[in-house]
Amino acid sequence: MASLRRRRHGKDEDTLTESLLGDHEDDQREAEQEQAHEHEREERRQANRQAIIVHPGEFDLGAFVQSILDWWNRLFGQIFSYAAQLWPQGLGREQPLSLSLLQAERLRQLRERVAERFDVSDVSHQDSLRRLWSLAFPEEPCTALKCARWKDMGWQGEDPGTDFRGAGRYGLENLIYLAEEHPEVFRRLLHKTEGTRAAWEYPFAVAGLNITWALSELVELHVTQGSDPDAPPRTAAGRAFVALLADHDAAFEELYVASFCMLDNTWLEMRASYMEFNTVMKRVKAEVDRALSARPADLRALRRGLLGAAAAERFG
C-alpha cells in the first residue's frame, strides 16, 4: 500500500484503481463480527456453568468440567485464607543468626571500639594522633597537635580533634591500620598519586573517618540505648560481615581498606569534586552493601566484588 501512495503523486496516478482503504474496512467488519460471536459464546458458557444440563439431550462437557474446576478453586481459596489466619506469625522469615563464641566476642569488641569517643585530653588518644603523623610525614617530627600541617593530611582545620564526631577513636585507629598494614595504599591515597585529580580533592583523613562511620552503620556495630549489645546483625550485609569475622579478626579493617580504595576509584570515575563527596560516599556505601549481601566466601572474594580481580590482587 505504501508504494501505491507514492505512485499517486507520480505519473501513474490516473491508472490507480485499487482503493487504499478497502481492505482495512473489510478487516474491521470481520473483527466486529468475530467479537459479537465471541460475546454470544461467552454468554452461553456463563449460562451453562449455572445450569449444566439445559434440558434433556443438551449436555456441555466443557462447561461441566469448568464448573468443577471453579468449585475446587473456591474451596481451596477458602482453605488457604483460613490457614493464613492460623499461621504462626514470623514463620517463613529469616531466623535469628546464631553466632559462635568467637564471632560473638569479636563482634562485642568491635562494638565497644566503635562506641569509644575521641578525647583529645586522653594521652593515649594523643599518642595515636602522633603515630598517624609519623606514618604520614616520616621525615617530620610531630611538634604540635594543632598546626596548619594537619590540613595537608586531609583534616579540615589545624585541630584534627574537632573532626572525629561520630567516627570516634576507632576512625583514627583505622587510618593507622591502613598506614601500617598497607603502606603503599596509604601513600597512594594520601598523596593522590593515581588518576586525573580534581582541583578540589576530597580530604584524605576526613574521608577515612566517614568510611569508618558508614561501614560501622552498615554492619550494625552501633548499639542504641536500651538495645541488646550482643544482638546479632539482622541485615544481609551485617550477617555476611559476621560470617567473615569467624575467620579474620581484622575483617572490619580490611573491609575499610578495600572501601577506601573503592572510594578513590569512584571519585575518579565520576570526575567528582569536593562538593560531590557525599554523593560519592552514598554510592560507595551502596556498593559495599551489595558486595556483602552477595555473601562472599572470604575477604579475598569480598575485595574482588568491590574492586575487581586485578585490583584485589594488589592486596596480596
Say yes or no to pLDDT of 92 above 80: no
- What is the distance between the alpha carbons of residues 91 and 106, in angstroms, rounded to a whole number? 30
- Average pLDDT (263-279) is 96
Q: Supply the pLDDT for residue 61.
A: 67
Averaged pLDDT of the chain: 81
Q: How many CB atoms lie within 10 A of CB 166?
A: 15
Tell me the three cell numbers of residue 53. 444440563
Integer angstrom CA distances of residue 28 from 22, 43, 129:
10, 23, 84
Place of cell 600541617: 149
User: Residues 144-159: pLDDT tens digits?
Assistant: 999 999 999 999 999 9
Q: Supply the pLDDT for residue 47.
A: 53
Looking at the chain, list the stretches that DSSP marks H as alpha helix, in order from N- to C-terminal side: 2-8, 22-50, 61-86, 101-115, 123-136, 168-181, 183-191, 204-218, 236-245, 251-270, 277-293, 299-307, 309-312
Q: Supply the pLDDT for residue 180.
A: 98
Residue whose C-alpha is closest to residue 241's, from 118, 106, 149, 115: 106
- What is the distance between the alpha carbons of residues 17 and 192, in angstroms, rounded to a whole number? 78
User: Residues 113-129: pLDDT tens digits?
Assistant: 999 999 999 999 999 99
Q: Supply the pLDDT for residue 23.
A: 41
pLDDT band at 20 (very low <50, low <70, confident <90, very high): very low
User: Residues 68-90: pLDDT tens digits?
Assistant: 766 665 565 556 545 544 544 44
Q: Supply the pLDDT for residue 167.
A: 85
Q: Supply the pLDDT for residue 75.
A: 62
- Average pLDDT (278-296) is 97
Say yes or no to pLDDT of 220 above 80: yes
pLDDT band at 8 (very low <50, low <70, confident <90, very high): very low
Q: Name the region of 91 (left: φ>0; alpha: ψ -120 to 50; beta: rest).
A: beta
Q: Name the region of 217 (left: φ>0; alpha: ψ -120 to 50; beta: rest).
A: alpha
Say yes or no to pLDDT of 18 above 50: no
Are 245 and 106 spatial neighbours (Cβ–Cβ below 8 Å)?
A: yes
Q: Supply the pLDDT for residue 226.
A: 79
Q: What is the pTM of this model?
A: 0.70
Q: Supply the pLDDT for residue 166.
A: 79
Place of cell 504462626: 88
Tell me the three cell numbers of residue 48. 451453562
pLDDT band at 245 (very low <50, low <70, confident <90, very high): very high
- What is the distance between the alpha carbons of residues 154 and 151, in angstroms, rounded to a whole number? 5
Residue 59 — φ and ψ, nearest 5°? -120, 125
User: Residues 160-202: pLDDT tens digits?
Assistant: 999 998 789 999 999 999 999 999 999 999 999 999 998 999 9
- What is the distance between the alpha carbons of residues 219 and 225, in angstroms, rounded to a whole number? 18
Q: Is 240 helix (H, G, I), strand (E, B) or coil?
A: helix
- Average pLDDT (262-285) is 96
pLDDT band at 24 (very low <50, low <70, confident <90, very high): very low
Q: Supply the pLDDT for residue 260.
A: 98
pLDDT band at 38 (very low <50, low <70, confident <90, very high): low
Q: Supply the pLDDT for residue 17.
A: 35
